[in-house]
Amino acid sequence: MRERYPSLELIRVIIAASPRLAPITAVLMLLQGILPSATAALSGILIGELISTNASTRVLGPMLGLAGLFILQQFVAMLRLAVCETVSTRTKAVATTRLMRAVQAPRTIAHLEDPAMLDLITRARGRGWITMENVAFAFLNQQTTRLQGVVALVLIAQFQPLLAPLVFAGFLFRNAMLARAQAQMMGVSAQRARVLRGADYLRDLALQPAAAKELRVFGLSSWLVDRFERTWLASMGELWRQRPHLARMLVYGSLPVVAAACLSIAAMAASVAAGQVTIAQLMVYGQALAIAFRTMGFFSGDENILEEGLISLPPLLQLEQLVPTRRELQLSGTTAADGLPSREIRFEHVSFRYPGQARDVLHDLNLYLPAGTSTAIVGDNGAGKTTLIKLLCRLYEPTDGRISVDGIPLTQLDAIGWQRRTATLFQDFQRYALSAADNVGFGQIERLHHRGALVAAAEDARALEIIGNLPRAWETMLSRQYTGGVDLSGGEWQRIAMARALLAAERDRAVLILDEPTAQLDVRGEAAFYDRFLDLTRGKTTVIISHRFSTVRRADTILVLRDGQIAERGSHDELMALDGRYAQLFKLQASRFDEVAS
């Protein structure tokens, strides 16, 4: 029901956005709906008095009444406009919040790599300038004008009782055709979401700074603009092909309204010719007809906005209903993760394959991580190291097999509780365009304003000097897109991200993971950091991924991941004595460093 009639869902969003202002808005809309017809009725009374008498006292009342109605109309119109703008702004915030919550609700991230889900998100975001704020404002305007039309029909019924229902029936038919047109637009929107998502990506490449350097150095600017234009035109093609058909539907929908207008004018002319109406009545009748057909008989800009904007609400409802029920997003665990792990973490015959891929990234993998020890994972690019970490953090669910913590399947643990037990610094860590304090404090959001904790974490990560040299120290925005903001180097960003991870490690984080976050540090800097990290986190369960074998030598256990399985396991000395894959790669790296040094 809610997906089929998006206007009903919009009303629910408006009320939820402004529960106190919604009744006030309704009253103001009702007043603005009544006042035009009230003015028409009073003007008819005034004309009747002017014709029937010359006594100024008889016309003074209607004239003062008209003046009062005029002033009231202006006041109500301005007040309704201000209130509707506030309600519309809040409506946009509520709709955006619902979309964000729907996308962020799953504790896994598989849905954000599902093309069908991404298409649905694109549709729910809406199109360009037509935001939910515009849609809500247009909807409130439309309902106000419709109220004006309905009240005008009440006046018309006083003179021609049969015409009012006829006009109203024409209006209902027109609205039914409009609803059909909107339904077809929703179908077209669903078909073009994938192509439109591609166009949005190209637009963002051109408008955001991330790709600016390469676009210019490689001379891609003209190509990018041309490619965007072609992609966008392709996304609009089906819509434009449907436009003539939709236009015919709307024209057909207007025909009964036009017929009712012609019949009303003819009836009015016949009544005048027969002397059945007075001039005063004719004045009221004519104004009422004008109001009715102006507000109910023709399409407006508000309806064009609604036609485009309402198509984003059904996808939002689908997201809210679909996301929690998808198999890969179900997180039914209820067992508390407090105090885990105390003994071990195990991967038992775990396989994982990304959606749409032909082969497993991890296949029948068995892995044992003793609690309270440090484990390093090494292997070639594409071996599945980062995927293994994401499974451990429960950002994905295994395709087969199971992961257990102290013998408890990970699926039985409360997902949020388990993720709060882990602190992870990924190689593609986020660079937040926020203050330095926020970038570090996100490691423990509850201690975001605890400056002493931030300073300690930054000092441990060797980032305190970097922050101290910023123009506003901790309050400096780490982006040049903001006034007074600065951009950091790759190495400086890594220090900030390390501080965030170390802050997270201070409290309730029993499993600490570093996924090659030091790639932009030199060998000595990386080795010094890992030494410091292992000292600071001794006694916790730590997992380290690195391509530089010399930096993982201090780990208690080293695992070699190859072809989606654990190929070798042991300490550095044990693996060197084994003279297997680890020893080969270690010697190869060592020889390269010797060549550079010489």
The owner of tokens 């006042």 is: 35
Measuring CA to CA, which residue among 206, 204, 210, 201 is closest to residue 235? Answer: 201
Take residue 348 and report the two structure tokens written for it. Answer: 């038992």
Q: Are 460 and 376 in contact (CB under 8 A)?
A: no
Measuring CA to CA, which residue among 399, 405, 406, 372 is closest to residue 384? Answer: 399
CA distance 49 to 521: 92
Q: Are 518 and 446 in contact (CB under 8 A)?
A: no
CA distance 151 to 568: 82
Q: What is the pLDDT of residue 329?
A: 43
| Mean per-residue pLDDT pooled into runs of 10, the chain (598 residues) | 76 93 94 91 81 65 83 92 93 90 84 82 76 90 90 84 80 76 65 75 84 82 88 72 70 76 80 78 84 73 75 85 57 81 95 88 94 91 89 92 95 88 87 94 90 93 94 94 90 90 81 79 70 77 84 88 92 92 85 55
Instruction: Annotate 474-529 with DSSP letters as a single string.
Output: GG-BSSTTSTT--PPPHHHHHHHHHHHHHHHHTSS--EEEEESTTTTS-HHHHHHH
SS3 570: strand
Q: What is the pLDDT of residue 567?
A: 93
Q: What is the pLDDT of residue 107?
A: 79
Q: What is the pLDDT of residue 231?
A: 82
Q: Are 531 and 455 in contact (CB under 8 A)?
A: no
CA 426 from centroid of its chain's CA atoms = 23
CA distance 394 to 390: 6
**CA distances, 574 to each of 15, 377, 551, 566, 578 (Å):** 67, 15, 16, 15, 6
Q: What is the pLDDT of residue 596?
A: 47
List domains and CATH numbers for the chain: 6-327 (1.20.1560.10), 344-421+508-597 (3.40.50.300), 432-493 (no CATH)
Residues 63, 66, 67, 68, CA torsion sign = positive
Measuring CA to CA, which residue among 425, 441, 414 is closest to residue 339? Answer: 414
Q: What is the pLDDT of residue 186?
A: 61
